[in-house]
């Protein structure tokens, strides 16, 4: 039964994504959890579970209702608050009342959505209350509250609201000593040209010698972003972060799913939405499968060997699911670690304390990473910025399997 519910939730989520709704794995999992807790006995109750967990606006609710009727058939009762036999639904659900406060909140939200659907259809307030309060069951979410929401659970509009917070983030990388020097005091060598130029002011007598100090420059930031189906919501958020954050605009950005695509020109746009749209058009394999090892090999052969990765900070954004050979991932990660200064891996699955790098691609790449962070919310991006700015090379320790 659990497997059947998971298949139904996954299929329903895929149909909603094809219809244009931002339904990811997180929302599909919440929908399956709500069905398990509520145990709906009619199509109307199943629709309430979907509205409570899969949408975040009135427009999305109308589109979900249309997709719901195509998949599960027409609704079996016309009124949301009344069961088919005419009895009140609250009385029928007394034996199925959820046990946790979180479940009770979900049911309350579903009831508010049901009231709104009745009011929209009949044009009247069933409770006789204030029309303004009933007409807004979906309350607006400030950016501060959305900062703790998983990127997979955000719609396009909600992700756009986080642009202001992302502009306050600085993606700083460690500095490196350049081969160039500049005049300065305390240098180990003397800048004869600058010293003689100053001596001309005193009749040729060099009363003060000017030294030469090395110039420091920030290291190059290279980003490899997984845009496969399982990483699509996180890829959108990370591309917007690279566009908005200070220091991210100067990064070299590549996307990969079944092939490697350079997205750096796409980030030179006037808005984050245009940058994401341009990136989607530039990458023909968006929402495709994942060939992690082949993408790393193409980057090493075409860009890394030419010097782009030498001494750079490499940021890889992927969940580590790979359809290829893990041995290829291990070999290419070893090649990359020999030339890169640091390798930081962003894996949203590591947000769980019980996560273990058991997937073939992630297990092969883990020993060559200096840091592995989740980066699944705006608040979690603090770990990402700290890992990028760390001036010390540290290889991540492999967690023992349970």
Residue 272's pLDDT is what? 72
**40 and 76 assigned to the same domain:** yes
For residue 25, tell me if it sits in a domain. yes
Whether residue 156 is contained in a domain is answered as: no
Q: Alpha-carbon distance 18 to 36, whole Å?
A: 25
Q: Is residue 164 part of a domain?
A: no
Parallel, antiparallel, or unpaired for β 342-346 and 371-373? Answer: parallel
Q: What is the model's pLDDT at position 369? A: 94
154 part of a folded domain: no
Residues 211, 332 within the same domain: no
Per-residue pLDDT of the chain (402 residues; tens, 9 = 90+): 445 777 888 888 888 888 888 887 778 888 888 888 888 888 888 888 898 888 878 888 888 888 888 888 877 544 444 444 444 444 444 443 333 334 433 443 444 444 344 444 444 443 333 333 333 344 344 677 788 889 988 888 888 888 888 988 989 999 888 777 777 776 677 777 777 777 777 777 766 777 787 888 899 999 999 988 888 889 889 989 988 887 777 889 998 988 898 988 877 776 777 777 777 777 776 777 788 999 999 999 999 878 899 999 999 999 988 888 999 999 999 999 999 999 999 999 999 888 888 888 899 999 999 999 999 999 999 999 999 999 887 766 544 444
In a domain, 264, yes or no: yes
**Do 94 and 185 fall within a single domain?**
no
Q: Kindly list the strands in the beta sheet with 211-218, ordered across the sheet, starting from the edge strand earlier in the chain.
A: 175-184, 211-218, 189-190
Counted domains in the chain: 3
Same domain? 349 vs 238: yes
Please give the structure tokens belonging to residue 292.
């992690």
Token pair for 395: 């290889």
Q: Which domain holds residue 65?
A: 2-139
Give this prediction's pTM. 0.60
Q: What are residue 212's DSSP bridge partners?
A: 183, 189
Both tokens of 62, joined, read 């109308």
One domain, residues 200 and 236: no
Q: Point out the domain boundary residue: 160, 190, 218.
A: 218
Look at the chain and count its residues: 402
pLDDT the model gives residue 268: 75
Residue 398 lies in a domain: no
> What CA–CA distance (Å, rounded) separates 34 from 9?
11
CATH number at residue 264: 3.40.50.410
Let me know: does 226 contact 282? Beta carbons within 8 Å. Answer: no
- Strand 189-190 relative to strand 211-218, pairing: antiparallel
**What gap in Å lies between CA 239 and CA 393, rounded to an integer?**
25
Select from 139, 169, 192 the last residue of a domain: 139
Name the phi and psi angles at 258, rounded to 5: -105, -10
Same domain, 49 and 185: no
Q: Both 238 and 362 in a single domain?
A: yes
pLDDT of residue 76: 55
Q: Decide the pairing of beta strands 211-218 and 252-256.
A: unpaired
The residues facing 6 across adjacent strands are none
Same domain, 198 and 344: no
- Do 230 and 378 fall within a single domain? yes
Residue 328, in any domain of the structure: yes
157 in a structural domain:
no
Residues 235 and 340 in one domain: yes
90 and 109: one domain?
Answer: yes
Shared domain check, 188 and 125: no
Domain boundary among 197, 218, 239: 218
Annotate 265-293 with b (16+ C-beta within 10 A) or e (fewer). Answer: ebbeeeebeebbebbbeebebbeeebbbb
**Residue with token string 């607006």:** 140
């Amino acid at each position: 039964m659990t497997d059947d519910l998971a298949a139904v939730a996954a299929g329903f989520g895929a149909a909603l994504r094809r219809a244009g709704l931002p339904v990811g794995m997180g929302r599909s999992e919440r929908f399956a959890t709500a069905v398990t807790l509520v145990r709906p006995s009619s199509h109307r109750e199943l629709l309430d579970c979907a509205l409570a967990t899969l949408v975040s606006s009135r427009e999305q609710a109308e589109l979900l209702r249309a997709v719901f009727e195509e998949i599960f058939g027409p609704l079996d009762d016309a009124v949301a608050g009344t069961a088919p036999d005419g009895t009140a639904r609250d009385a029928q659900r007394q034996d199925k009342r959820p046990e946790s406060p979180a479940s009770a909140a979900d049911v309350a939200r579903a009831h508010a959505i049901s009231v709104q659907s009745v009011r929209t259809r009949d044009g009247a307030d069933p409770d006789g209350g204030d029309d303004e309060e009933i007409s807004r069951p979906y309350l607006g979410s400030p950016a501060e509250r959305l900062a703790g929401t998983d990127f997979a659970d955000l719609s396009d509009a909600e992700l756009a609201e986080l642009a202001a917070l992302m502009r306050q983030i600085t993606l700083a990388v460690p500095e490196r000593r350049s081969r160039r020097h500049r005049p300065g005091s305390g240098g180990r060598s003397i800048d004869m040209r600058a010293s003689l130029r100053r001596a001309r002011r005193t009749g040729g007598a060099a009363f003060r010698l000017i030294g030469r100090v090395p110039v420091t420059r920030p290291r190059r930031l290279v980003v490899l972003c997984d845009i496969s189906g399982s990483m699509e919501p996180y890829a959108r958020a990370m591309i917007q972060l690279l566009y908005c954050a200070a220091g991210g605009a100067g990064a070299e950005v590549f996307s990969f799913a079944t092939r490697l695509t350079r997205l750096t020109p796409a980030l030179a746009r006037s808005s984050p939405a245009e940058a994401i749209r341009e990136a989607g058009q530039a990458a023909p394999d968006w929402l495709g499968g994942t060939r992690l090892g082949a993408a790393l090999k193409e980057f090493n052969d075409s860009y890394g060997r030419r010097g782009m990765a030498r001494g750079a900070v490499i940021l890889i954004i992927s969940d580590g699911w790979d359809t290829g050979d893990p041995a290829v991932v291990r070999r290419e990660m070893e090649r990359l670690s020999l030339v890169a200064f640091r390798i930081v891996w962003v894996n949203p699955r590591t947000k769980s304390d019980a996560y273990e790098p058991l997937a073939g691609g992630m297990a092969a790449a883990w020993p060559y990473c200096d840091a592995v962070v989740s980066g699944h919310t705006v608040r979690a991006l603090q770990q990402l910025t700290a890992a990028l700015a760390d001036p010390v090379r540290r290889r991540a320790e492999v967690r023992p399997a349970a």
